[in-house]
Structure 1
């Protein structure tokens, strides 16, 4: 079996609890268009933003929709209340900075802002929404991370919580563990109910 040499982390839902933040942002966005926040958020959970806009405000300018969403998300980074999952800070601080990376569908400046506010250490590499032409569930984000690290995909361990991220990591040819969900993804290699429970096993896999 190939030795694990790198760990690639998703961010929202994996290292940081951002569910309430995402819900508040989408409710605020929906209010600007006179829409029901709960219905819009339910749609946003299943689709990418551009697809959400097309479904709930088909006649609106998607660029304007996205600009408003980004403004609300940036404001949330500055003023929102959120926290890292238990064990995240200790786990990341104990990993060599050049042996792990973040692979997120968010944008790097928001991730950095959240990490600064919650005291999480940053790695040397962040693959964000602006880094790739295709997002999860495409394997491109995780393959891009491996390429920039100089890693064989088979040497990479992916830590995820969402089905789209699991599929992205698996299709990239990587080992995938899931955390922070009550039930395991059927195709993930290993599952832990919480990040805290996974932390010692992640450190041991890399060590």
Structure 2
């Protein structure tokens, strides 16, 4: 129950399309939230999608149909909760084994969505860095700062899953490639180009460890 709360999905999450969860299309009254019980108000605990659940939908959209993190996570929460409810006071060994599969599936979908979000902001930061030289009129410092901060913040979060596929030396390498600050217009063109290469290497490292395809890495 606590994990589901942190995931942030509305109770009828599976009734939404990815576009609707992300508020990027679909039915006009399902844009991130919906008055499902028809009481004229949005219950923020039951009828609104928050945080991680929205990121999962955005990454599914960016993957062009090759991932379904939304369904994998939500279905696992529902099936795991139903198993616990049906079992009552205690679980058999088989039930416990099945419950662990549900938990691991939910965590894997959630983690993949987080890691895909790191990739998304790597791509945004690459585009921002390249725009300084390629299209100065289109460059926006505030966007660059936001994208880099999101990239770094989500990437730092990977250390808190003890089963993360990027840990130890990989975690240190990833953050070494990202650095501690964005490379801005105050740097030389050569320094910016070198940083873009480092970010591409960071993206490749993530792809190798999580089994993402080249198309997914580019699409996010």
Higher percent of residues as helix: 2
| TM-score after normalising by structure 1 | 0.24
**Larger RCO (CA under 8 A, 6+ residues apart):** 1
Larger Rg: 1 or 2?
2
The alignment's TM-score, normalised by the length of structure 2, stands at: 0.23
